[in-house]
Amino acid sequence: MSIIPMQGKHTVSLKRRCAVQVLMAAVVTVGVGCWIGTMRWPWYLEAGALLAPLCLQVSLALMGLERHLLRPMRSLSEHARRLHEGDNSHFMMTTYLTERQDEVGELARQFQHLVEDLKNHNAQLLEQSLIDPLTGLGNRRMLEYRLDVALPLTRRLDCTVSVMMMDVDHFKLYNDHYGHPAGDQCLVQIAGVLRDTFRRETDIAVRLGGEEFLVLLIDTPSDEALRLADAMRGMIQAMGIPHERSPSAEVVTVSVGVVTSPPGVSADIDRMVACADEALYACKASGRNTTLARTLKVQEASLVACD
Ligand SMILES: Nc1nc2c(ncn2[C@@H]2O[C@H](COP(=O)(O)OP(=O)(O)OP(=O)(O)O)[C@@H](O)[C@H]2O)c(=O)[nH]1
């Protein structure tokens, strides 16, 4: 963050305000003193006449102190307190502070910059903690984060939720044969297919870990979800990444298990993931490089188990 010098071009410094105030007090006191000298009043009247403008000047100085220093300081400390308590969602310093052309305004602007920098930094950190560094897809935390928003929405809109579990076939053999860095590249290419296939803003595609990926689609009929999952599987096969050691194909392939909750049913994601996992392992058992869907048993508008 750049540090802007305190004395800006248009700054009316508090120091200058004080100097003007003191000068005015001196001029008024000397002026009144000279005037009293010509009046030949008794001493108590002279003292009263001298003290009255002095008291007025002191009162004006205190009012200025309150207006130009103490009130903005209280306001700044209130902002700092709200930030400290975590209320920074819509943090915006009042223009009354930031538009001031003195040191307090400068302090408020710097404070505002600092808070904005911190907010950006926090947003970056949050994003980094939600992204899988290898593939750039979301990770498990991203899934949880997005489910918090997506699931209440699906309940409210009474729409379907589809979960796809995808796993690379014989990936251990791939790693053993081509090496771990080549395995990493393979995962990056697979992630690219997921990104190209699931482009809707509501689609959630994440790498759960290792060679396992999950896709969650909302408001997509079960046959469409199955068609998309199989298209994705086909595209990964069509990339033609050689896999000499695979017992099931000459290229890298994946197996995909799909499950869709019907509309009007409250989606239990854990149960759906378990069902999609079962479908995935059925793919593995049936020779791999396939897509299988499972239907969900529903009782009293909630998911019970896979059939
Ligand atoms: N290159 C690379 N390999 C990984 C990564 N994460 C996990 N793996 C490897 O992925 C392999 C997964 O092996 P398994 O779970 O036995 O599964 P598989 O060999 O694909 O066999 P099937 O799933 O039954 O087809 C292991 O060898 C892990 O070391 C990663 O980030 N990069």
What are the φ and ψ backbone dihedral angles of 82, each rounded to 5 degrees? -65, -40
Q: Which domain holds residue 102?
A: 14-126
pLDDT of residue 103: 83
When pLDDT is averaged across residues 52-68 and rounded to a whole number, the result is: 86
When pLDDT is averaged across residues 246-255 and rounded to a whole number, the result is: 97
Higher pLDDT, 126 or 257: 257
- Looking at the predicted structure, is the pLDDT value of residue 21 above 60? yes
Query: How many domains does one find in the chain?
Result: 2
Percent of the chain with pLDDT over 90: 46
Confidence of residue 12 (pLDDT cuts 50, 70, 90): low
When pLDDT is averaged across residues 205-220 and rounded to a whole number, the result is: 95
- The two structure tokens encoding residue 172: 């251990």
pLDDT of residue 206: 97
What are the φ and ψ backbone dihedral angles of 268, each rounded to 5 degrees? -100, 100
Same domain (yes/no): 172, 260: yes
Q: CA 299 → CA 9, 152, 262, 302, 304, distances in Å? A: 73, 20, 12, 5, 6
Domain edge (last residue) among 98, 126, 154: 126
Tell me how long the chain is. 307
175 lines ligand 1 (CB under 6 A): yes
Q: Where are the alpha helices (DSSP H) in 1-70?
A: 14-37, 43-65
Same domain (yes/no): 121, 163: no
183 lines ligand 1 (CB under 6 A): yes
pLDDT of residue 6: 43
What's the 115 CA to ligand 1 centre distance in angstroms?
Answer: 43
Model ipTM value: 0.97
Cα–Cα nearest to 152, from 61, 218, 235, 234: 218
- Looking at the predicted structure, is the pLDDT value of residue 304 above 60? no
- Looking at the predicted structure, is the pLDDT value of residue 8 above 50? no
Higher pLDDT, 171 or 158: 171
Contacts with 64 (C-beta within 8 Å, 6 or more apart), sequence order: 17, 21
Same domain (yes/no): 182, 276: yes
Residue nearest atom 23 in ligand 1 by C-alpha distance: 169
Same domain (yes/no): 163, 26: no
**161 close to 260: Cβ distance less than 8 angstroms:** yes
Which is the closest atom of ligand 1 to the Cα of 175? 1
What's the 267 CA to ligand 1 centre distance in angstroms?
Answer: 30
What's the 172 CA to ligand 1 centre distance in angstroms?
Answer: 4
Query: Which of 42-46, 91-95, 265-269 shows the lowest per-residue confidence on average (mean pLDDT)?
Result: 91-95
What's the 269 CA to ligand 1 centre distance in angstroms?
Answer: 24
When pLDDT is averaged across residues 131-144 and rounded to a whole number, the result is: 95
Q: Per the domain annotation, does 1 fall within a domain?
A: no
Task: State which of 135, 139, 172, 187 you would mutate to test the pocket of ligand 1, scoring each by most atoms of that ligand within 8 A of its C-beta.
Answer: 172
180 lines ligand 1 (CB under 6 A): yes
- Give this prediction's pTM: 0.71
Same domain (yes/no): 67, 196: no
What's the 228 CA to ligand 1 centre distance in angstroms?
Answer: 24
Task: State which of 175, 243, 255, 280 you would mutate to test the pocket of ligand 1, scoring each by most atoms of that ligand within 8 A of its C-beta.
Answer: 175
pLDDT of residue 89: 57
pLDDT of residue 273: 93
Cα–Cα nearest to 257, from 231, 285, 229, 237: 229
176 lines ligand 1 (CB under 6 A): no
Same domain (yes/no): 188, 274: yes
Same domain (yes/no): 148, 291: yes
pLDDT of residue 112: 85
Confidence of residue 302 (pLDDT cuts 50, 70, 90): low
Domain edge (last residue) among 126, 152, 174: 126
- Looking at the predicted structure, is the pLDDT value of residue 148 above 80? yes
When pLDDT is averaged across residues 96-105 and rounded to a whole number, the result is: 81
Which is the closest atom of ligand 1 to the Cα of 167? 23
| DSSP string over 123-172 | HHHHHHHHB-TTT-SB-HHHHHHHHHHHHHHHHHHT--EEEEEEEETTHH
Q: How many CB atoms lie within 10 A of CB 28?
A: 14
For 66-93, write each residue's pLDDT tens digit. Answer: 888 888 888 888 888 888 887 665 566 7
Same domain (yes/no): 146, 121: no
Q: Per the domain annotation, does 4 fall within a domain?
A: no
For 216-237, write each residue's pLDDT tens digit. Answer: 999 999 999 999 999 999 999 9
Angle at 220 between CA 214 and CA 221, to 5 degrees: 115
Which is the closest atom of ligand 1 to the Cα of 186? 1
- Looking at the predicted structure, is the pLDDT value of residue 249 above 80? yes
Q: Per the domain annotation, does 155 fall within a domain?
A: yes
What's the 211 CA to ligand 1 centre distance in angstroms?
Answer: 6
Domain edge (last residue) among 69, 102, 126: 126
Same domain (yes/no): 154, 284: yes
For 106-120, write each residue's pLDDT tens digit. Answer: 888 888 888 889 889
172 lines ligand 1 (CB under 6 A): yes
Query: Which of 77-81, 121-125, 138-142, 238-242 shows the lowest per-residue confidence on average (mean pLDDT)?
Result: 77-81
pLDDT of residue 90: 58
Q: Per the domain annotation, does 269 fall within a domain?
A: yes
Query: Which of 30-34, 147-151, 196-200, 279-283 shows the lowest per-residue confidence on average (mean pLDDT)?
Result: 30-34
Residue nearest atom 5 in ligand 1 by C-alpha distance: 210
Burial call 183-192: b when 16+ CB within 10 Å, e when fewer: beebbeebbb
Same domain (yes/no): 244, 201: yes
Higher pLDDT, 254 or 18: 254
CATH number at residue 296: 3.30.70.270
Q: Per the domain annotation, does 302 fall within a domain?
A: yes
What's the 18 CA to ligand 1 centre distance in angstroms?
Answer: 73
Q: CA 11 → CA 14, 146, 218, distances in Å? A: 9, 47, 56
294 lines ligand 1 (CB under 6 A): no
